[in-house]
A and B are shown apart, each in its own frame.
Chain A
C-alpha cells in the first residue's frame, strides 16, 4: 500500500497538484520493556506454556510512551520489535536474539485489545517480510516512509547518533545515515548521506552528523522518501582480526535521533521512554520497517489514527519458564508513522 500511495503522490506531483494543505513528517515511537522473569515486582497472569498452565509475569510498558504528545493528528502504520542485544567489542550480543520467539505481546487502546484478548507470540505479529540477505540485514535498517516529507530549499536534517555499547580501545566504527528523495520540480533523484566515526572505549555519543551533508542547497524542494542507516564493521589497527573475521557491522549497537531543521515541525522524530532509563535516540534496528533485522507488523486498514493525546499501551510476557542468563533482557518495540500538520 505504501508503494501505491507513493505512486499516487508522484502522479499528483507530476501534475503540479500536490498542495493539499497538509505537511507530513515521519514519527517514530520506541520503548524497551524488561523481560527479567526473576523480578517479582510485576503482576502475574495465567498462561499456557507448552501445555502447562503457569503464572507468568506481565511486563507493562509505560502508558505515556506510545502517545501522541503533539498538537496534530498522527497515523501509525507499522510496529517493529527486536531484542535489545547489546554488542560488545567482541561483537557478541549478551542475550540470544531468538528469545524473541518466547515473548508474547498485547496492545491495549481505549480498553480494546489488539490483536486479541490473549497475549500473542511476537513472531505471529510479523506480517511483512523484510529480510534482505544476512550480510545486509545485520548491518542496515531501511525505512520507506508511508508518506514522504518535504525538505525545502535551505533546509537540512539534524541526525544524532549514539552507541549502545562503547567499542574497545583502538577500535573504531563508521556509521552512515542516508536519505533518499526526488526533486519536486526536476524529479531527479537526491541521495543525501553523512557519516560519523565512533572510536575508543568510551565514545558512545551523542555525535551529530555534519548537517551540511543533508542540506538542500539546490533550487527545488525535495520529496524525501527513504531513510537508511548502516553500521560499518569494527576496525582497528591493533587487532585487524575484527575486520577479517566479520566485516559486517551490527545495526543493533546504534541509536538514532532525527530532526528536520527549517520548515516542518522542527521536532525530534523519535520519542522514547520516559521511565527509569530515558533512551536518547531510537534503536536503529527498529527502523528497519522496509528492510532490516527486525520483526515488522503492518497495522490493518488505515493503521492507528491518533488525535492529540491518544495512544496505546503495551504489555509483554516472557514464556521462558526457567530463565537463564540468556533470557533476561529487554524487548524493544517501535511504532512508525507520520504526523499530519495543516499547512
Chain B
C-alpha cells in the first residue's frame, strides 16, 4: 500500500466456436480453419492499467472430458457426432497470440497443449462403487484463485459474487443419495485472526439450473445432444453468455446463486480496520449430477469422464463500497477460466507479464483442424465444431 495503489484481480476471456472445413476423404487435402477471437473481449476498457500474468485454456461446456470410458479400450464412436464430442477437442486446436503493433507471442500458431502446463488440477476420480459409473467429474470439485496481489478492502467494503446456472443435459435426476441438485460453496480467504487467517463463506447452496427440456426443442425425456457438436443441441453456438446458459429463462444470474454483499458483511462484522483478502474458492458438489448423468445419458458412453461443472457455469464478481466497483471480468466467464490456481483448465504462466493500458488489446487467433474420417472403413466423415475458451488473468492497479 505504500505506493498508494489498490490491486484487484482481472481477467479477459472469450470463447469461440467454429465449424471446421468440410471433411475430405483425402486427409492430406484437408484445410484447417482459422478464426479470430473477438478483439473487444481482450480490450482494456477500464481507466486502469491491467497486468496479465497467466493464460488459461479450456474447451468449455462439453458434457464429457473425453470420448470413451477412460480405460483406453478404444471404442469406436457410435455416430459421427460422438467424435470430438468432448473437451479433449482442445488437443486438436492451435492458437496465436499477439499484442498488435508490438509483439507476437509466437510467430506461428502453436498447439494449445504445447504450452507448459502448470500443475493445477485436482486428483482424478477413477472409481466408484456404483456399477457402470467408473468415473465422475473429479474428487473435490474445487476452483481456486490465489490473488496475485492482496486485495485490500475498507472496513465496510464488500464483494458480490454471482454464479450462472447451466442446462442439465436432459438428465432426469433419479438420485439415490438424495443430492438431486448441484450445490455450490464460496469462500474468501482473509488475513488476520488467531490462526493468521480466516474466511467468509457461503456454503452448501443449491445451484439454480435450467432443465434442458424446458427450452422447447427437446422431446420430453429423450434428450437431444447436450454438447456443442450435436445437431441443434446447442443453443449458444457463438459465445458463452449467461442468457444463453439459461435457455428460455433470461435471468442470467439467479439471485439464489449469489453471495451477496449482505452475506459478505454479516461475517466478521465486528472487525475494525481494513481487510486483506488473499484468495477465493468455489466448490461445486456435483455428485448427484454425475451419478444421474452416468446412468441416463443416451449418446454418451457409460463410464466416460464427466467434465467438471466449472467448465459450464458462468460467473461475475465485483467489489462494492470500496475498490473500483468494476466487474473483475466481463460477466459470464466460465469459472474454470478465471479461478485458475486450482482448475480443470490448462494454465500457462506467461513468460513475461503483459500490461494493457486503457484501450489496449490483444489479438488471438484459433486454428481448428479440418474434418476427418473416423470409422474403421473411413466412410463416416465428421465436421468437428470445436469450442475453445481462452482467458488472460492478472490484476489491475488502481490509484487509491
* Interface residues of A, Cβ cutoff 8 Å to B: 47-52, 92-102, 104, 107, 109-110, 112-124, 126-127, 129-132, 134, 137-138, 293-295, 299-304, 319-322, 324, 326-327
Contact = CB atoms under 8 A, between A and B. Distances in A.
Interface in B181-201: 181, 183, 185, 187, 189, 191, 193-201
Most central of A50, A51, A303, A321 by chain B CB within 10 Å: A50
B122 A126 contact: yes
Contacts of B287: 96, 98-99, 101-102
Interface in B172-223: 176-181, 183, 185, 187, 189, 191, 193-201, 203-206
B297 interface: no
Contact of B130 (A104, A118, A132, A326): A326
Interface stretch (B82-90, B138-146, B359-367): B138-146
A98 B342 contact: no
A123 B279 CA distance: 15
B119 interface: yes
A97 B133 CA distance: 13
B129 A48 contact: no
19 contacts: A92-B129, A97-B139, A98-B128, A101-B141, A102-B179, A107-B195, A114-B193, A115-B197, A120-B187, A120-B199, A123-B142, A123-B185, A123-B281, A124-B283, A132-B119, A299-B196, A300-B278, A301-B197, A319-B183
B256 interface: yes
In the A-B complex, the 10 residue pairs with the closest CB atoms: A301-B196, A300-B197, A322-B178, A115-B199, A51-B206, A123-B283, A50-B206, A123-B140, A101-B285, A112-B194
A326 B279 CA distance: 33
Nearest to A94: B129
B344 to A, nearest CB: 11
B142 A299 contact: no
Contacts of A301: 191, 196-197
Contacts of B98: none
Interface string B237-277: 00000000000000000001000000000010000000000
A56 B329 CA distance: 37
B140 A101 contact: yes
B122 A110 contact: no
A93 B127 contact: yes
Contacts of A107: 195
A322 B194 CA distance: 36
A119 B136 CA distance: 25
B173 to A, nearest CB: 12
A285 B139 CA distance: 14
A115 B136 contact: no
Most central of A92, A121, A126 by chain B CB within 10 Å: A121
Contacts of A115: 187, 189, 195, 197-199, 201
Contacts of A49: 183, 204
B6 to A, nearest CB: 21
Given A114-B197, A115-B201, A124-B142, A131 B177 contact: no
B302 interface: no
Given A98-B138, A304-B195, 4 more contacts: A95-B129, A97-B127, A115-B195, A326-B177
Nearest to A83: B139
B111 to A, nearest CB: 20
B123 interface: yes
Contacts of B279: 127
B126 interface: yes
Contacts of A96: 128-130, 287
A51 B205 contact: yes
A118 B264 CA distance: 13
A92 B140 contact: no
B194 A109 contact: yes
Contacts of A126: 122, 140, 142, 144, 281, 342
Most central of B139, B177, B342 by chain A CB within 10 Å: B139
